[in-house]
Amino acid sequence: MICALLLAALLLFSLVKLEQKIRPVARAMAEYACREQAVRWMQTAVADCLQNAPELLEDLYTLQYDEAGQVQSVVGDTARLTLLQYTLESDLTRSMGEGKADFAIPLGTLLGLQLFSGRGPDIAVKVIPLSHIESRVETGFVSAGVNQTKLQTDLVFSVQLCAVLAGMQVETTAESGICVAQLLIVGDTPQFYLEGADSSG
């Protein structure tokens, strides 16, 4: 009887020590996986939305030319850019509310041991948003070769998340910058303006 109790106590002690050892590793792995999964989900959701509603990308810019026919300035349509931003932000929020950002991690991966990585039963991970999805528009010029410039517009999405798995909660922030529009311009780099705003070079 005493031997059985000692064995049970030893087993319990070993399990507690094992949990203490792997819990930080599992937390770090879960945080990384949650962030990476959320970024992939954002990119996929945005691509699907734009594929279903390509009209969102129409008439974002107006080109203005000089007397020689060269592009002198590019005017961004603030209303169209705001509509694009709001639509994608709302679509991502709805998608997350439907649980489309949830995923699973193999138990072996959570243990942080290379030998067991990708193995074992899947541990379901519920992704819960802790904040509204925030976004911002970033537009700028980048070189695209000899005498060519590319105007690129990115939407940067950010959201605070809580991943719930196996009685553990892990908080993290996922951010993804997604290119939504590109415009190739031949000639010197033009000025860029937003309607109703001051110029930005």
pTM value? Answer: 0.69
93-139 per-position pLDDT tens digit = 887 777 667 778 777 776 666 666 777 788 788 888 777 788 888 88
Pairwise CA distance, residues 8 & 4, whole Å: 6
Read out DSSP for 11-77?
Answer: HHHHHHHHHHHHHHHHHHHHHHHHHHHHHHHHHHHHHHHHHH-GGGGTT-EEEEE-TTS-EEEEEE-
Tell me the average pLDDT across 160-172. Answer: 81
Quick one: pLDDT band at residue 198, thresholds 50, 70, 90? Answer: very low
pLDDT above 70: percentage of residues in the chain: 80
Instruction: Assess contact for 171 and 130: CB atoms under 8 A.
Output: yes
Instruction: Output the pLDDT for position 156.
Output: 92
- Report how far apart the first and last C-alpha atoms of the chain are (Å, whole number): 82
